[in-house]
Amino acid sequence: MSRLEIRKAREDDLPKIEKLLEEASLPTLAVAEHLNNYRVAKNGDTVIGAIGLEVYDGTALLRSTVVSPNEQGKGIGTLLYDTIVKYAKGLGIRRLLLLTNTAEEYFRRRGFKVIDQQSITGPVTNSVEFTGACPSHAVCMELSL
Ligand SMILES: CC(C)(COP(=O)(O)OP(=O)(O)OC[C@H]1O[C@@H](n2cnc3c(N)ncnc32)[C@H](O)[C@@H]1OP(=O)(O)O)[C@@H](O)C(=O)NCCC(=O)NCCS
């Protein structure tokens, strides 16, 4: 892992991000629209991880947290997460939300708390993750920044 780099996603990273998401059974819908708020982990020329935000005023939806299966468990997910949280704080985001079927414990360890999805109001509810890209039984979690 000598050439690991975390950087802002570029247009030409999109197909690889979508492939990683598909392989992890995570939604790809509307990633392109929010690519400006994505970060990627790269090992040389290869995209090995991603994470993104959908920004809605002071709230952002954290989505697309993914690391290539053969690169997991090396701290790359944590690096991506720390990078995006720092970025969110810089944007003035006060609250992160996420929906997950697979990583409740992962985010609980990072301070997120489970909340009732029905309690969420405002523009973030227009996100594709809320309008159907995530299964209705997905767990909704919140973190105040
Ligand atoms: C979640 C994910 C991004 C973590 O990336 P990673 O690079 O493996 O994470 P790190 O190496 O920084 O952290 C690994 C730690 O997280 C734990 N972990 C990894 N995935 C987890 C999960 N789904 N639930 C709970 N804990 C998890 C590991 O057991 C490990 O714990 P340890 O430090 O106590 O040994 C990666 O496992 C992944 O891509 N999963 C599939 C996609 C997914 O479910 N994404 C979440 C969408 S909401």
What's the half-sphere exposure (Cβ side, CA atoms, 13 Å) at 92? Answer: 3
H or E stretch including 67? strand 59-67
The answer to whether residue 1 scores a pLDDT higher than 60 is no
Q: What span, in angstroms and rounded, lies between the C-alpha atoms of 24 and 141?
A: 19
In a 3-state reduction of DSSP, which class is residue 80?
A: helix
Single-letter amino acid, residue 76: I
The answer to whether residue 67 scores a pLDDT higher than 90 is yes
Do the beta carbons of residue 141 and residue 104 sit within 8 Å?
yes
pTM of the model: 0.95
Give the pairing type, strands 38-43 and 46-56.
antiparallel
The answer to whether residue 35 scores a pLDDT higher than 80 is yes
Q: What span, in angstroms and rounded, lies between the C-alpha atoms of 93 and 81?
A: 15
What's the half-sphere exposure (Cβ side, CA atoms, 13 Å) at 51? Answer: 21
Give the pairing type, strands 59-67 and 95-100.
parallel
Provide the pLDDT for residue 137. 82
Between the CA of 75 and the centroid of ligand 1 the distance, in Å, is: 9
Mean pLDDT of 85-93: 97
Mean pLDDT of 89-115: 96
Please state the φ and ψ torsions of residue 108, each to the nearest 5 degrees. Answer: -60, -40
The answer to whether residue 140 scores a pLDDT higher than 80 is yes
Between the CA of 69 and the centroid of ligand 1 the distance, in Å, is: 10
Give the residue numbers spanning the domain of 96.
4-144
Between the CA of 104 and the centroid of ligand 1 the distance, in Å, is: 10
Residues lining ligand 1, CB < 6 A?
24, 26, 65-67, 72-78, 98, 100, 102-103, 105-106
Our count of domains for the chain comes to 1
Which of 18, 38, 72, 140 most suits a substitution to test ligand 1, by most atoms within 8 Å of the C-beta? 72
Provide the pLDDT for residue 57. 87
CATH number at residue 21: 3.40.630.30
Between the CA of 2 and the centroid of ligand 1 the distance, in Å, is: 21
